[in-house]
Structure 1
Amino acid sequence: MYEFPTSSSSPRIPHIIHQTYKTEAIPMDFQKNVQSFIRFNPNWKYMFWTDETARQFIQAMYPDFLVVWDNYRNNVNKADALRYFVLYEFGGIYADLDFECLRPLDPVTRKYAAIFPLEPFEHSALRYEIPFLLNNAIMMSRPRHPFLKHMIDNLSAFQALWEQLDVAGPCFVTTNFMSYNNFTAGDAYKFRVSSTGQSPYFYKGMMDDTDVNAVYIPNTHFFMNTLATIGFNEKGGIELCLKLSNDSSAILKRGCNELRRRKSRSIENHFRFTYTVHHWSHTYGNNWSKNERKYINISSIVAENMFRNYS
């Protein structure tokens, strides 16, 4: 493992943290997560988006998209789509409320114009048998990045797809990353591996990582190195790996090797270079709608001089 690449230049990604929930009253489960971003990044701006302010923003800034917005089947589609619009408009870092920050994010913002972390390789390999899966739970970008515009322009075409991950979620991001970089699914299986070990397992396209219009894809251990608790779990992955045969795909074999390496690492080594941890709370799942929870207003967590709401 290596430390995240940075430089001594001024930030290329604005120091703004974006987060969202249905209202300003968020579950207290997330209080310590929000506080972690504030504690390690005290000089950053903080923008919080609710269902109401999100729609106001879309109506004011992207009125042509409002029909698509209002006709999304599920609120999670709106939550997914919103993050591309706000990053395109303002730049900064978007993080779901179930992310915890472990150290200052300033170094992350200096070298690259856009950073889209991968989901753990085990997810893409063992769930989908694909080489990589970009996530949309934590993303970073300069404002007006053409990759974000590429996704915004394609949102309406994906609206009617059945799978939620395809409509505006991680599969949507992955598909659009490939089309943005002009390579096919076949190209993705070439497994071009960076010599520095920062971006393994997938073909990245021909654009230099530091280009103002490029998208840098870091190794998962920096931002998203924990496994999902729903849809994929370590036990299920192990059971699948026990059934491997000589005829199993190279993707599955790589996924099982990575799962074994994950289990062999100490906690200290596993999180040695980590900036953020995803706790996989699945806030739009049924477990959140049925259970009674205590809530706290976001304005009581974030200092007034940092907080900025859209209205």
Structure 2
Amino acid sequence: MTKQELFFRTLLVFGVVFAAWKTVGWYWSGSQKMSRSVILNQVPSVVQRLLNREPKKPPTQQALNLSPTSLKLVTLTARTTPTTQSTRTTTRAAVAPTKKAAPAFNSSARIPRILHQAFASEMVYENYLPYINGCMSLNPDWTYYLWRDSDAEALISSAYPEFLAKYKKYSDVLERADSIRYIVLHHFGGIYLDMDVQCVRPFFPALENLNSFLDQERIEQTNILWGWPFGVMNSGMGSAPGHPFFREVIDEMLRESRIGNAFTSTGPTILTQVYKRYTAAKHAVPVTMLEPKVMSPLMDGNKNWRSMCGSLAAAKSKPDSRRSWKERGCIMLESKNWRYDDSDNSTICVHRFLHLGYGSFAAVRKKPFNITARFWPRFELSNEEVNDLRVNAEVMQGDASAKVHNANSMKSFGMSNE
């Protein structure tokens, strides 16, 4: 080999290396060249985009056409174990949302087609998968928002800064999940459901003409467990944006000094108290409490109700006015022949009482799955988040079987169930 040939071969190698370095290290944006790190830092968060627009009816989206039995056939496979922190998480946390005041209530407004759920992160217990899938499939034209702790804190910091210190003090993980549900309903409107709520019918038209609603626990269960005449449940609620009832709930949580027990500080106790006070004041803007059979037709199957009630002979010998609430609930349940399911044609959802948020139920939790990867065509995502999920899907499938049709629009991405 001559010196001239050696020189040209060396020059060719350096050219190839330089071209590869330029391709990996830089992205092109129009006529400007930006580093990947700069681009990732400029991606807006979901919360920022939501706060910068007025609540509106989401556009109709293509139904996933999935049933609980077909979930394992979905082409787009989700990661089942957390890896390093994803681009989606870091970019959401890195960009502070624009501050915007909570909306004023419009008396003619109705519940928008938005479904909210809350969890600590996008890695959700697989026990919830059939319920989430069922609710999305029955309501295909609804937009889905998952509120992770990081998203919740960003929203509170921006639109409800007076609540931020209280939110950070909550020591019970359920307190954070409870509090954010009232806030997103007040700010954006929509319907909130716990992840262990099974949808059996579409939300509309049954709930379409309401500007707000609250779920109600089975009367017998409330009587027996809590000694109350009735109890408001927060496992299923709906609202138009800015409804004053949910503003009162937020204010009551701010006033509540007790923390560490979600049932009393953020859950059914505080919600029932606010409902009693709100209805007694006869506000011009009412809030509707549903009959238990609409969303909570079941008794909690984790409890032995017959054992808890015991013999009812003594209770039956008393006049109604002298019976305790527990005795009344037990007699009512016995009169139904200990029927634990009151669902009928008016039932829209069924609260299944999985209790997976409690440490005592940790043994029955299934491995987590990535909900954003599983259902990403239904999520409110930035273009970078959509691209990240597309790439992950292609890598996991090993080929182009994820069937991504258009890399420029989140709405046109498809998910196969073949």
TM-score, scaled relative to structure 2: 0.60
Aligned to 2:287: 215
Aligned to 1:295: 368
* Amino acid corresponding to residue 299 of structure 1 in structure 2: T
Q: CA deviation at 1:14?
A: 0.8
Contact 1:49 1:309 in 2 (8 A): no
Aligned to 1:258: 332
Tell me, in whole angstroms, the C-alpha distance in 1 between the residues paired with 2:178 and 2:381: 18
Tell me, in whole angstroms, the C-alpha distance in 1 between the residues paired with 2:259 and 2:169: 13
Q: What is the SS of the residue equivalent to 1:100?
A: strand
Tell me, in whole angstroms, the C-alpha distance in 1 between the residues paired with 2:336 and 2:153: 41
Q: CA deviation at 1:180?
A: 1.3
User: Residue deviations 1:78-133, cap 9 Å, x none?
Assistant: 11111000000011110000011001111133222111011110122112222110
Tell me, in whole angstroms, the C-alpha distance in 2 between the residues paired with 1:292 and 1:165: 21
* Amino acid corresponding to residue 157 of structure 1 in structure 2: R
Aligned to 2:315: 244
Structure 2 residue 279 is matched with structure 1 residue 181: yes
Closer/same/farther in 2, CA of residues 297 and 220 from structure 1, 3 Å limit: same
Aligned to 2:55: none
Tell me, in whole angstroms, the C-alpha distance in 2 between the residues paired with 1:68 and 1:174: 20
Aligned to 1:123: 221
Unmatched tracts of structure 2, length 5 or more: 1-107, 386-418
Tell me, in whole angstroms, the C-alpha distance in 2 between the residues paired with 1:266 and 1:235: 11
Q: What does 1:1-150 correspond to in 2, within 5 Å? A: 12-150=110-248
Q: CA deviation at 1:259?
A: 1.1
Q: What is the SS of the residue equivalent to 2:369?
A: strand
Structure 2 residue 377 is matched with structure 1 residue 279: no
Q: What is the SS of the residue equivalent to 1:47?
A: strand
Q: What is the SS of the residue equivalent to 1:136?
A: strand
Closer/same/farther in 2, CA of residues 72 and 243 from structure 1, 3 Å limit: farther
Q: What is the SS of the residue equivalent to 2:202?
A: coil
Higher RCO structure, 1 or 2 (CA under 8 Å, sep 6+): 1
Aligned to 1:197: none
Closer/same/farther in 2, CA of residues 241 and 223 from structure 1, 3 Å limit: farther
Tell me, in whole angstroms, the C-alpha distance in 2 between the residues paired with 1:245 and 1:271: 29
Closer/same/farther in 2, CA of residues 135 and 103 from structure 1, 3 Å limit: same
* Amino acid corresponding to residue 215 of structure 1 in structure 2: V
Q: What is the SS of the residue equivalent to 1:299?
A: helix
* Most deviating of 84-93 and 247-256: 247-256
Identity %: 26
Contact 1:68 1:159 in 2 (8 A): no
* Most deviating of 281-290 and 218-227: 281-290
TM-score, scaled relative to structure 1: 0.79
Q: What is the SS of the residue equivalent to 1:85?
A: helix
Tell me, in whole angstroms, the C-alpha distance in 2 between the residues paired with 1:240 and 1:59: 53
User: Residue deviations 1:167-200, cap 9 Å, x none?
Assistant: 01001100011111236xxxxxxxxxxxxxxxxx
Q: CA deviation at 1:240?
A: 6.2
Contact 1:11 1:111 in 2 (8 A): no
Aligned to 1:151: 249
Q: CA deviation at 1:244?
A: 2.3
Total equivalences in the alignment? 273
Tell me, in whole angstroms, the C-alpha distance in 2 between the residues paired with 1:260 and 1:64: 48
Q: What is the SS of the residue equivalent to 1:106?
A: coil
Contact 2:200 2:350 in 1 (8 A): yes
More helix by share: 2
Tell me, in whole angstroms, the C-alpha distance in 2 between the residues paired with 1:257 and 1:171: 24
Closer/same/farther in 2, CA of residues 104 and 73 from structure 1, 3 Å limit: same
Q: What is the SS of the residue equivalent to 1:147?
A: helix
Larger Rg, first or second structure (1 or 2): 2
